Amino acid sequence: MGNGINRTLSADWPYPRLAAHRCGGTLAPENTLAGFDACVRYGYRMVEFDAKLSADNQLFLLHDDTLERTTNGHGAAAEHTWQQLATLDAGAWYGPQFAGTRLPTLAEAAERCARDGIAANIEIKPCPGRDEITGTLVASGALTLWQGQTPPLLSSFSFEALAAARDAAPSVQRGMLFDEVPDDWLRIVRELDCVSFHANQRYLTERLVAEIHCAGLRVLAYTVNDTARAQLLAQWGVDMICTDRIDTLRPHMFSAPANPA
């Protein structure tokens, strides 16, 4: 392969090997501050979470386009104002002990990161048709809300959102999320000036990890819940493993990701 292969890996990778998927993996309601509590309890120093916009452009944490699965609300998240979303229960679906848990704003997540010394992978998860503005506002928020902290790593499945993030805040590092890996992945990550390749772990091979590293990019694997698979991926050099099983993939079992000398 040509076009930039054999680049040196960036040394600017201040992140640990393990990240808690959707804040607290399966140990807490996803994308909530209760997830941060679980993350801290299990010794994790990094979270991944999903960020999107309310109808009135408040940035908040939620995975789905709709409210039903993880809140007591109904319909499209994008059709609700923040005032409406802020009243929803985002914890009772998971267990009665979490009843009353609220949807966090991006600012509240940033405060939690600062308080607990946690780094963040902010996945830009735009509501349908809102890719560009969500990318722009998340990137601006990453700059202003994370001042003085480990800089967050942005990622998205949306090319448009990441392009807008790149234009709004070029200095905030970006990673492209892929499910099946397209043949032109290198063109895509170069166009977005990404530092990392975020891969569905099932499509990763030792050879692909080596190719991505040769292109000068870090590798994140999602969502890895099997301990033996996580250890194999770490052995291949996968730089970050995003997991739901923060209770079984323990930080002491993994070394820090390699950094160039």
Distances (CA, A) of 257 to 133, 218, 234, 254: 33, 10, 8, 9
123 touches ligand G3P (CB under 6 A): yes
Q: Which pairing describes strands 46-53 and 59-61: parallel, antiparallel, or unpaired?
A: antiparallel
Size of the site for ligand G3P (CB under 6 A): 11
Q: Which does 155 bind (CB under 5 to 8 A by kind): ligand G3P, Mg ion, none?
A: ligand G3P
Q: How far is the CB of 125 from ligand G3P (least distance, A)?
A: 6
Q: How far is the CB of 200 from ligand G3P (least distance, A)?
A: 8
Q: Which pairing describes strands 196-200 and 153-156: parallel, antiparallel, or unpaired?
A: unpaired
131 touches ligand G3P (CB under 6 A): no
Which helix (H) or strand (E) element contains residue 219?
strand 218-222
244 touches Mg ion (CB under 5 A): no
State which residue, 39 or 186, has the beta carbon closest to Mg ion: 39
Among residues 29, 48, 105, 126, the one that binds ligand G3P under rule CB under 6 A: 48
State which residue, 67 or 242, has the beta carbon closest to Mg ion: 242
Within 84-123, the residues that bind Mg ion by CB under 5 A are 123
Among residues 34, 45, 50, 53, the one that binds ligand G3P under rule CB under 6 A: 50
Q: How far is the CB of 198 from ligand G3P (least distance, A)?
A: 6
Within 70-99, the residues that bind ligand G3P by CB under 6 A are none
50 touches Mg ion (CB under 5 A): yes
State which residue, 84 or 150, has the beta carbon closest to ligand G3P: 150
Instruction: Catalogue the long-range contacts made by 93-101 (C-beta closer than 8 Å, 24 or more residues apart).
Output: 93/29, 93/69, 94/28, 94/29, 94/30, 94/70, 95/29, 98/28, 98/29, 98/32, 98/34, 101/29, 101/32, 101/33, 101/34
Among residues 198, 213, 218, 245, the one that binds ligand G3P under rule CB under 6 A: 198
Contact assessment for residue 230 and residue 243, using Cβ atoms and an 8 Å cutoff: yes
Q: How far apart are CA 185 and CA 181, in angstroms?
A: 7
Residues 6 or more apart whose CB falls under 8 angstroms from that of 235 comprise: none
110 touches ligand G3P (CB under 6 A): no
Size of the site for Mg ion (CB under 5 A): 2
Q: How far is the CB of 150 from ligand G3P (least distance, A)?
A: 17
Q: How far apart are CA 127 and CA 79, in angstroms?
A: 10
How are the residues of the chain apportioned to helix, strand and coil, as percentages rounded to the nearest 5?
35, 20, 50
Which structure tokens are listed for 147? 């001042």
Q: How far is the CB of 201 from ligand G3P (least distance, A)?
A: 10
Which structure tokens are listed for 181? 């890996």
Residues marked active site are found at 21, 63
Residues that bind Mg ion (CB under 5 A): 50, 123
Residues that bind ligand G3P (CB under 6 A): 21, 48, 50, 63, 123, 155, 177, 198, 222-223, 242
